[in-house]
Amino acid sequence: MSTTVTQSDLLVKMSLMAWDAQNNYLDKLISSLSDEQLAKEIAPGRNTGVYLLGHLIAVSDGLLPLLGFGDRLFPEMEEVFLKNPDKSGLSFPTVTELKQRLKTVNAKLNSHFQSTDVNGWLSRHMSVSPEDFVKEPHRNKLNVLINRTGHMANHIGQMNLLKGS
């Protein structure tokens, strides 16, 4: 029995590999940085590493409802890390807590990612209506994953600036 790999299969596989690569790099990066380094601004007047880490977790957590995989695991992080800036005065979880939350969110996402087939990835995400999706089929779950992978890569690049601090 032979299996044919379609271009869609390949695109999904490449996108998931890119997501995994960025998450693995983020894990290595935050493991290599001390709590003191993460507490520093990436540049004068910019976000701290702790804020960026919390932001990335909150964005990834938001993928769960957006992709139809369930509710956020840490809904309280949305207010702190998505709706408010770093210097808002709101308190952050500890670095240890954030690292654990990152592992928890990624484990939940990866479980769903691995059980989603190509048709699932090419289906609409929850922020687009069925009527709009008919007109704009590119507004699918895979497009969200690709966008969030690039978003993560951007913030990882910023956090790399903390290595020398």
Per the structure block, which two tokens stand in for 58? 């909150």
Is residue 67 over pLDDT 70?
yes
* Arithmetic mean of pLDDT, 23-49: 97
pLDDT confidence of residue 5: 86
Q: In the chain, what are the helix, strand and coil shares in percent, each to the nearest 5?
A: 65, 0, 30
Cα separation, 2 vs 101, in Å, equals: 41
Task: Determine the average pLDDT of the residues in 61-77.
Answer: 98
Phi, then psi, of 48 in degrees rounded to 5: -85, 160
Residue 4: per-residue pLDDT: 83
Residue 73 has a pLDDT of: 98
Residues 127-163: tens digit of each pLDDT: 999 999 999 999 999 999 999 999 999 999 999 999 9
164 pLDDT tier (thresholds 50, 70, 90):
confident
Q: Give me the CATH code for the 8-160 domain, please.
A: 1.20.120.450
Q: Give the start-to-end residue ranges of the domains of the chain.
A: 8-160
Q: Does the pLDDT at position 18 exceed 60? A: yes
